[in-house]
Amino acid sequence: MGERQLTGPSSSLAGTALDRDFFDRPSEQVAPDLLGRVIVHGPVAVRLTEVEAYGEPGQDPPAHTYRGLTPRNAVMFGPPGHVYVYFTYGMHFCANLVCRPEGVGSAVLMRAGEVVAGAEVARARRFPPGTAAAGGSGGGTKRISDRDLARGPARLAVALGLEREHNGLDCCSGGTIGVLAGEPPDPALILAGPRTGVSTGAETPWRFWIEGDPTVSPYRPHAPRRRTRPPG
């Protein structure tokens, strides 16, 4: 790790940045060590309070790499310390940090955090001007609590402004995105449990969070979708 300052609007956020060796480990080891760290992208910075680890191909059924390399998951097979962004449920982006050496295929999903810089930018991204939630063309912006700005993986990605075009960004090159060392919590406050909403591998306790932190998202087990029977 080394002291550096990110470029761009977030340049006031200087600190010790996590280097590639930090991420070049099994995801279940990296994940709890990410708690309390600060990911910065442009003007917004988020202190991570909840993450989930996903394992290697053929070993962890809910991992996107379980069945091997595809065009969608290719970033996960690249060098560690890069951002893997994917689209889900036809409406949300989620962001991960790639782990393990190049060619392996593993990552940590950033599930929730506290916005520690750029809160108004993050708030505006939730309801862009002109949308109904933003009050239309003449109304005011809907107010979102600080707790909820990055509470959940989709909200966290929105707060940081991470979308499809940011897939593959390098957090270790000293650019406009990076992960600062922050202040890791007391190890006694780091809890582990089953991952949220997965239908397979649900018993694997690879969801990690800071006990008592209000920005941690609620745990929800997988709920199978019910098929609607046709009338008659």
Over residues 27-81, the pLDDT tens digits come to 999 999 999 999 999 999 999 999 999 999 999 999 999 999 999 999 999 999 9
Mean pLDDT of 129-154: 71
pLDDT band at 137 (very low <50, low <70, confident <90, very high): very low
pLDDT of residue 223: 61
pTM comes to 0.86
134 vs 70, residue with greater confidence: 70
Domains of the chain: 2-134+141-210 (3.10.300.10)
Strand ranges inside the chain, DSSP E: 2-5, 14-17, 38-41, 44-54, 83-88, 92-99, 106-117, 177-180, 190-193, 207-210
pLDDT tens per residue across span 90-116: 789 999 999 999 999 999 999 999 999
CB atoms within 10 A of CB 113: 33
Residues 6+ apart with CB under 8 A from 59: 66
pLDDT of residue 9: 45
What element of type H or E holds 29?
Answer: helix 27-34
